[in-house]
Amino acid sequence: MILKGSQRSGGKQLGLHLLKTEENEHVEIHEVSGFVSDTVMGAMNEAYALARGTKCQQYLFSLSLSPPALESVRVETFEKALSDIEERLGLAGQPRIVVFHEKEGRRHCHAVWSRIDADTMTAKELPFFKNKLNEIGKQLYLENGWAMPKGFESPKLRDPRSFTLDEWQQAKRAGIDPRELKSAVQDCWKHADSVGAFAAALEERGLFLARGDRRAFVAINIDGDVFAISRLIGGKAKDVAARLGDPARLLSVDDARARIASDIAPRLSRYIAEAKRIARTNMEPLIAKREALKVQHHAERQAKDKFLSARWDNEQRARAARIRKGFAGAWDFLTGQYFKTRKQNEMEAKFARERDSHERHALIQRQLKDRQALQDLFRENRRKEAERILSLYRDAAAYRRMQTGERDKDQDRGSVTLRPKRDRGLELG
CATH number of the domain at 62, please. 3.30.930.30
Residues spanned by the domain of 62: 2-153
Specify whether the CB–CB gap between 95 and 113 falls below 8 A.
Answer: yes
**398, 284: one domain:** yes
Lowest-confidence region among 315-329, 353-367, 410-424? 410-424
Residues listed for the chain: 429
Q: What is the pLDDT of residue 261?
A: 66
Does residue 260 or residue 316 have the better pLDDT? 316
The phi and psi torsions of 189 (rounded to 5 degrees) equal: -65, -40
State whether 304 and 233 are in the same domain.
Answer: no
pLDDT of res. 202: 86
| Amino acid making up residue 45 | N
Buried b or exposed e, range 216-249, using 16+ CB within 10 angstroms: bbbbbbbebbbbbbbbbbeeebeebbeebeebeb
**Does pLDDT of 222 surpass 70?**
no
The whole-chain average pLDDT of the chain stands at 81
Of 250, 278, 302, which residue is a domain's last? 250
CA dihedral 280, 284, 286, 290 (to 10 degrees): 110
- Please compute the mean of the pLDDT values over residues 19-39 and round it to a whole number: 92
Q: Quick one: 246 and 368 in the same domain? A: no
Tell me the HSE value of 256 on the side-chain side, using a 13 A CA sphere.
Answer: 27
The pLDDT tens digits of the residues spanning 344-398 come to 999 999 999 999 999 999 999 999 999 999 898 888 888 887 777 677 766 666 5
- pLDDT attached to residue 281: 84
* Contact residues for 23 (Cβ-Cβ < 8 A; gap 6+): 103
- Position 171 in a domain: yes
On whether both 20 and 118 belong to a single domain, the answer is yes
pTM: 0.56
Q: Are 222 and 264 within 8 A, CB to CB?
A: yes
Q: How confident is the model at residue 279 (pLDDT cuts 50, 70, 90)?
A: confident
Task: Please tell me whether residue 64 adopts helix, strand or coil conformation.
Answer: strand
Chain segment 134-188, per-residue pLDDT in tens: 889 888 887 887 776 755 654 433 333 344 445 444 544 555 667 667 878 888 8
Query: Which pLDDT score, from 0 to 100, does residue 139 have?
Result: 84
Count of structural domains, the chain: 3
Tell whether 147 and 170 lie within a shared domain: no
Degrees, nearest 5: CA angle 393-271-407: 45
Q: Which residue has the higher pLDDT, 180 or 23?
A: 23
Are 37 and 149 in a shared domain?
A: yes
In terms of average pLDDT, the best of 112-116, 396-400, 421-425 is 112-116
- Asked if 234 contacts 247 with a C-beta cutoff of 8 angstroms, the reply is no
% of the chain exceeding 70 in pLDDT: 80
* Per-residue b or e along 10-34, where b marks 16 or more CB atoms closer than 10 Å to that residue's CB: ebeebbeebeeeeebbbbeebebeb
> Could you tell me if 98 and 173 lie in one domain?
no
Provide, rounded to the nearest whole percent, the portion of the chain with pLDDT above 90.
44
